Structure 1
């Protein structure tokens, strides 16, 4: 597989080499490397201009979508507004038309003022602030040279950043750990400042100068972080914490958010005030000159920096780690820890981190606690969903949670790939790279509903032959979304090349492997002697006989896929339809447009959730021509349906089945009932006794059914009105009865009781709405007839 050559996308630009504080744990001034003494205090203009050009040159050569530049020091605010403005202007000038610029500044905050922040607003410069907690904790290390506290000035800086005008600039707070500080006091003090993100850093240390370990514990830093983690978790994880989020991501097989964890290659370089390139600043803690590359912006390109042995070694992943690290069970999460923390005189960096026991304990503790506790749904979201509805934000959080679940699933499937399987290894490598550099492309494929179906079947042993091939299909589809020219090998099975969520290619007569690449204009498939070049606007219906793309139905506020291409879409209880003809697809699209208009106009409380969470509809076959539809717990974001006779019924079907989709996502994250319950119950919409989960699902779905007929009364006339009122009357009563059965079953968890009570609140308010005597009689008659038929068909009632 052709892979992009190594590149750099993160740059730390030192705009000032001195500092106005005298923090005794600072790696720049207080550790082994003292190179700062011989450098200019402020960044000269010629160094600044040359640096900007070098970054732009590198970004253009590697077609980087964005670069990230941190203005740093020393203390960067000492450079003053004038120099900082020139830095922003030069970087913006050089990168204009080349790639996006993410510009940030990291400061101790003591000089931050409205003048600086107005400048940062002008150039969209995000601001990170160092603060070690409450006053006592912060003053342990972060003081002026004369011993004065810096805490009041930093609090004033945070107060400025929290003003509405400046809040969009606030990037977060960074705290260096001292185990002598109380972890809960530190966390509470930081959270009270309402930061958008927190980061906790281990103090810099090496095997030659190990970190303090007061007390009897062998893992005091893990213990300290665990106390914070428990506080964070108990408080609903009110703020993202980079180290915890990175542990959780790497445990799922995803990339880390910090260089101190995970196996992602280093892609960061430091440019000092004299224009010299250096490796990560943290190396200053190892030995004098450790970060040096011997290169500078005037004489060397950034490609030359990437080739420096110290930089190149950090692109080797697990292979550059010590033998002890390579055999460690948590190496994928730990990644050997921060590179600088591995140093020991004599063996260099060929060692585990000096914090190895702490990292191991932290990762294992988080892993085990997550496995035991399971994920959760915020109570506010649970209440909104339990009422039967769900706005775009609430359903959007369900979607995000399901995406994380599917990421975990892909990581688990990747672990099933045979050792040394080249196809799986190449696919996994590309997926990891896309996740890091083109996350939207990666997520689009992960979120395809039938990705989960494939993964679960593999893990159950139902599709053992589709481990490597399925990973390759995902990688190929993600590469098509990214359109950056990756070359992907992907299998062709039974003459079909599957591209999950995008479509399929018919390659009759070809078996084995194909090669796919995609750029901005087209994608190309090479299979044997056949080469197909397909433009992105080709092949929707008949323009290209080989390409069968998933058809998208675009409507105001909602785009949904008609998924009739994926061979693994048979997740529903009814057989799937073959590929729709052009005429059938057109009718589907017309009916969907009318159904969506009805939902938006008459059922507006359902529309935002449907638009946020329903990605595709899979056409089904109705064996007897009846209206059939289904949702599957194994295909979040999809429903299956045979096209009903009218758009009105299609609208009913959509809101009905999407209720199952939402509740399934809740049940993936919360236990609402005792899973050992084995009784069955009467359900007034089914001919057979239902287990408790089935009754819960049916009752929740019939909230939408009831509401549909409730609103149809306002637009129907004549017999249609009579029918709508009778349906409403029947289903409100029988849904209310089902709610009472659920509540009285004695099998709900406390959260389940809360959920069912909210369902009841919705239905019971509808019981107060007046209906005609004729509608009441028709509803009661239908209910009695169903109960009678049910009793006759089943040997006993429960």
Structure 2
């Protein structure tokens, strides 16, 4: 049999054929196809084994880079941890050395717990959760069989996924549209949960069983109108997360591919493996007629190559030729693509009943033209604060003090906007209102002091938490506003008093330090006292200033004035825990002094050996947050995407290593600020790419960030081989040889991704010129051999078929 020109790359693996909820809009149990009744409840180990081998064989035959598998149901968690483990192990084993595996699970979330999440973390299984909005919206459909609401259990699951331990597993929320629910209320309820993506789904329907439409509605496209209201709310909020249907429309309007099979003309490459091993088409076909998804094939007797050429699969891979005449003549067909295949069904019509427009035709046209017109009416972007000269400096991997200062000014503007958003979105207490008014006065009279406080790297993590809108957000918001006002008052040296609510026994003064207040819930900060300030807690007044003695309750931030660089060690701010690693507790004076000495030595080394990096680093890196050391002695460092001006580092053994970590992480800081200013790549690109410095494939931004950072790593080892002796010099030679070639390879991958914007292409080209200039340095032959052997081994273990 001739292989399909469109091999299958997406698989739905049915783990369990029953569900613990009784959602009345479920296409598996409530629509025309009722084949679930005759299927095994749980998939067997034998079916899992042959399914994994079939998928691997198909991937090997067609040289696929990545296979996408979703563990599904019914409710897949009902299969239990051991059966899910068996599925994950089997897939990883079968695909090892063949291609990358993108493994996900879609669940209603009601039984999700830490043990499940630990299993998912072990196998990097991303988790999508179904939720239709707030409780009222969710309760319209997603209830237990006895009518009890599932909403609280789902929110508990999402809170678990949002915890730092499991946040990397959270894939997003899936919400089925119901016109009875207000779209803005639904969107806001979902957005407050901070999902990485929201997927709004039209309820499955056909021309025989059309979707519900309000009898009193005057709209001819109520579902299109509903989604447009979501689009407008999402856009007004700054598009803080991906929304699959809206991103897909935006992509297809630009000529790119869709992110969903329900839009666009890209071929569908999906197969379903049922609990009994039957090979079926997409589950959405269950809404058409009984038996619609069936193929008559079984995983034990048919290959996936045979499945790929089944007429039902081929019918969804023909682009325009697979659509009816009405669709082919439509001006938005390249975005709409005829809509979801199942939604075209009408009994008694041609081509098996699917050669029709979508039953949502008017709604899809309304949505697409509405978004198109809104995009066309957008006002031009304001002039960027970076001119071409500064941008080109940064693109080379360096960037002088002026360019970095411009980035810092823009980040300050972003922080100011976030602060305003916190104020406007939060309920105001009397204490918070007084603090806001004090901050406004200081902003007029001592703006440089306010700017210094608002530029604090950990303002943004606080603001983002305050904007989540949950039960704690209001208190966090008002406390933070008061803390900022008090810190600005102290920095300005102005007389006045700010009352600050305290939390966890600490009064936080951003950029200055923290005060231990015990059980007190309020503290009064008064400025202008003896060139310092006073803090009144209960009946006791503490004075902090140059002319007063040291108060044991005051924990000043350690600040060091090194030659040409002022840097602070941040070990007091509770929001510093943003780097993905545990932070160190308050440093002792001796430990802080050890840090000062090593920072001074590292800075001196950077100035002498990496002078191109020194001016930008001095202009933009103001905070180093000490991280907890690794028990294995491995170097640990991190730059948080939302903490401009700070890096987290576990203090290494040598100043040279600290120098490497500083320049490496500050590359991420710079590039993050550039990405806040401009689009260098298509943000909807979901492809994963081989990264030479990672054990797993990376999304495009991750590869871009890593490549930019490794320009500094290349230059560090280039300098180390000049300054080291003996074995250390040889090791530096090997690492220089390896990283210059692999960073050049990563640049080529970025260029070939097809997802860079015009500006991004220019930026990456300049990065490539810097790396290419390092390729001309002579390297000892044995070092080059060792470097290439190490690189080949890494690539062979990580992504042997990927580029």
Query: What is the TM-score with the length of structure 1 in the denominator?
Result: 0.52
Take 1:632 and 1:715, find their aligned partners in 2: how far apart are those partners? 31
Q: Paired residue for 1:619? A: 626
Q: Distance between the aligned counterparts of 2:784 and 2:440, measured in 1? A: 60
Report the counterpart of residue 58 of structure 2 in structure 1. none
Match of 1:559 among 541, 566, 576: 566
Q: Is contact 1:574-1:622 (8 Å) kept?
A: no
Counterpart CA distance in 2 for 1:716 and 1:404 is 43
Q: Distance in 2 between the 1:469 and 1:507 partners?
A: 14
What is aligned with 1:501?
A: 511
1:524 aligns with 2:534: yes
Equivalent residue, structure 2, for 1:401:
410
Q: Which residue of 2 aligns with 1:692?
A: 700
* Distance in 2 of aligned mates of 1:489 and 1:757: 53
Find the counterpart in structure 1 of residue 481 from structure 2.
Answer: 471
1:797 aligns with 2:802: yes
Q: Distance in 1 between matches of 2:622 and 2:525?
A: 28
Match for 2:663 among 655, 678, 686? 655
* Distance of 1:457 and 1:374 partners within structure 2: 30
| 1:434 is aligned to 2:442 | yes
Partner SS for 2:611: coil
In the alignment, which residue of structure 1 is the partner of 2:763? Answer: 755
Q: Which residue of 2 aligns with 1:417?
A: 426
Structure 1 residues 537, 391: closer, same or farther in 2, change over 3 A?
farther
CA distance in 2, matches of 1:666, 1:370: 21
1:448 matched to 2:456? yes
Q: Secondary structure at the match of 1:713?
A: helix
Q: Could you tell me how far 1:657 is from its partner in structure 2?
A: 0.1
Q: 2-side partners of 1:623 and 1:455: how far apart? A: 30
Q: Where do residues 386-785 of structure 1 align in structure 2 (5 Å cutoff)?
A: 386-419=395-428, 421-461=429-469, 463-464=472-473, 465-519=475-529, 521-536=531-546, 543-624=550-631, 625-785=633-793
Does the residue aligned with 1:534 lie in a helix, a strand or coil?
strand
| Counterpart mapping for 1:14-413 below 5 A | 375=384, 377-413=386-422
Mapped partners of 1:519, 1:437: distance in 2: 19
Structure 2: how far apart are the matches of 1:515 and 1:592? 33
Is contact 1:492–1:514 with CA below 8 Å preserved after alignment?
A: no
Quote the residue 2:794 is aligned against: 786
Partners of 2:789 and 2:455 in 1: CA distance: 45
Report the CA distance between 1:605 and its aligned residue: 0.6
**Structure 2: tracts of 5 or more residues without a match:** 1-373
Residues 542, 551 of structure 2: 8 Å contact kept = no
Aligned-partner Cα distance in 1 for 2:395–2:642? 21
Q: CA 1:623/1:726 → structure 2, altered by over 3 Å: closer, same or farther?
A: closer
**What do residues 85-122 of structure 1 show as CA deviations (whole Å, max 9, x unaligned)?**
xxxxxxxxxxxxxxxxxxxxxxxxxxxxxxxxxxxxxx
Contact 1:414–1:424 under 8 Å retained in 2: no
| Contact 2:595-2:651 within 8 A present in 1 as well | yes
Shift of 1:571: 0.8
Q: Tell me how far apart the structure 1 counterparts of residues 396 and 547 of structure 2 sit (CA, whole Å).
A: 43
Partner of 1:25: none
Instruction: Report if the CA contact (8 A) 1:517-1:525 is conserved.
Output: no
- Mapped to 2, the partners of 1:414 and 1:784 lie a distance apart of 53
Quick check: 1:483–1:520 contact (8 Å CA) kept in 2?
Answer: no
- Distance, in Å, in 2 between the alignment partners of 1:764 and 1:478 is 47
Task: For residue 553 of structure 1, report the CA deviation from its aligned partner.
Answer: 1.6
Q: What whole-Å deviation, never above 9, does each CA across 1:382-435 have from its counterpart, x for those lacking one?
A: 11001000111111111111111111111111112325x212211111111111
Tell whether the 8 Å contact from 2:497 to 2:524 is kept in structure 1 after alignment: no
- The CA deviation at 1:447 is 0.4
- Call closer, same or farther: CA 1:684–1:477 in 2, change over 3 Å: same
> Structure 1 residues 383, 538: closer, same or farther in 2, change over 3 A?
farther
Cα shift at 1:377: 3.2
Shift of 1:486: 1.4
SS of residue paired to 1:449:
coil
1:371 CA drift (Å): 8.5
In 1: Cα distance, 2:551 partner to 2:562 partner:
25
Cα distance in structure 2, aligned partners of 1:372 and 1:605: 32
Whether the aligned pair in 2 keeps the contact of 1:682 and 1:797 (CA below 8 Å) is yes
Helix, strand or coil: the match of 1:501?
coil
Q: Is the 8 A contact 1:516 1:524 kept in 2?
A: yes
Instruction: Give the distance between the partners of 1:369 and 1:558, measured in 2 at CA.
Output: 42
Q: Where does residue 73 of structure 1 map in the other structure?
A: none
Q: 1:378: Cα distance to partner?
A: 2.0
Per-residue CA deviations over 1:420-473 (Å, capped at 9, x if unaligned) read x21221111111111111011100100010111111221233650211111000
8 Å CA contact 1:639, 1:657 repeated in 2:
yes
Give per-residue Cα distances to partners, 1:531-588, cap 9 Å, x unaligned.
111223667xxx3210001001211000100000001111111011100111111111
Per-residue CA deviations over 1:199-252 (Å, capped at 9, x if unaligned) read xxxxxxxxxxxxxxxxxxxxxxxxxxxxxxxxxxxxxxxxxxxxxxxxxxxxxx
Is the CA contact (8 Å cut-off) linking 1:416 and 1:467 kept in structure 2?
Answer: no
CA distance in 2, matches of 1:442, 1:637: 17
Deviations 1:2-49 (A, max 9, x none): xxxxxxxxxxxxxxxxxxxxxxxxxxxxxxxxxxxxxxxxxxxxxxxx
SS at match of 1:498: strand
Equivalent pairs, count: 425
Whole-angstrom CA distance in 1 between matches of 2:573 and 2:639:
16
> Matched residues in 2 for 1:583 and 1:651: separation?
21
Work out whether residues 377 and 670 of structure 1, in 8 Å CA contact, stay in contact via their aligned partners in 2.
no
The answer for unaligned runs of 5 or more in structure 1 is 1-364
Q: Secondary structure at the match of 2:722?
A: coil
Following TM superposition, by how much is the alpha carbon of 1:724 offset from its aligned partner in structure 2, in angstroms? 1.1
Over 3 Å counting, the alpha-carbon distance change for 1:538 and 1:700 in structure 2 is farther
Supply the distance in 2 between the matched residues of 1:631 and 1:650 (Cα, whole angstroms): 14
Shift of 1:517: 3.0
The whole-number CA distance in structure 2 between the counterparts of 1:390 and 1:459 is 33
Q: When the two structures are superposed, what TM-score results if normalisation uses the length of structure 2?
A: 0.51
- 8 A contact 1:491–1:512 mirrored in 2: yes
The secondary structure found in structure 2 opposite 1:684 is coil
- Secondary structure at the residue paired with 2:657? helix
Distance 1:423 1:371, change over 3 A: farther
**1:630 to 1:744, Cα distance in 2 relative to 1, 3 A:** same
